[in-house]
Amino acid sequence: MPDNWSFVLAAYGLAALVLGGYWRRLLRLERELVALERRRGATRDEPRSAPTSPGPPIPRR
């Protein structure tokens, strides 16, 4: 029975990529939110601009 280490490596690598990718997405979203909050705090009356990230939809009222 051959071991197929390449398949094992591919599976673990892919999983790491997906999980890492989702984690990074969350971190980026967090950074953007913090930056947005800071900017909002500085200039209250400026028109809002949606962040350009392909993240989740930004709810609007």
Partner 1 sequence: MRAKFVVGGAVIALALTYMIYAGVTQSAVYFVTPAELRASAVAGKAYRLGGMVLLGSLRWEPRTLDLHFTLGDGTAIVPVRHKGTPPDLFGEGRGAVVEGTWSADGYFRASLILAKHSEEYKAPHGASQAGYKELLRTLKGEGR
Partner 2 sequence: MTSRERALGWLAGLGLTAGLVMAFGVAPREATQGNVQRIMYLHVPAILVAYLAFGVVLVASVIYLWGRAAGADRLAHASAEVGVVFTGINIATGAIWGKPTWGTWWTWDARLTSVSIMFVIYLGYLLLRAMIEDRERAARFAAVLGIVAALDIPLVHFSVYWWRTLHQPPTLLRPGSPPMDPTFVLALMVNLAAFMLLYGYFTAKRVRLLRQEEEVFA
8 Å CB contact between 56 and 32: no
Give least dist CB 15 to partner 1, A.
Answer: 20
Kindly identify the residues of this chain, within the stretch 1-60, that bind partner 1 according to CB under 8 A: 1-2, 4
Range 8-18 burial, b when 16+ CB lie within 10 A, else e: eeeeeeeeeee
Cα of 8 vs its chain's centroid, Å: 27
Which residues of this chain interact with partner 2, rule CB under 8 A? Answer: 1-5, 7-8, 10-12, 14-15, 18-19, 22-23, 26, 29-30, 33, 36-37, 40, 48, 56-61
Q: Which does 30 bind (CB under 5 to 8 A by kind): partner 2, partner 1, none?
A: partner 2
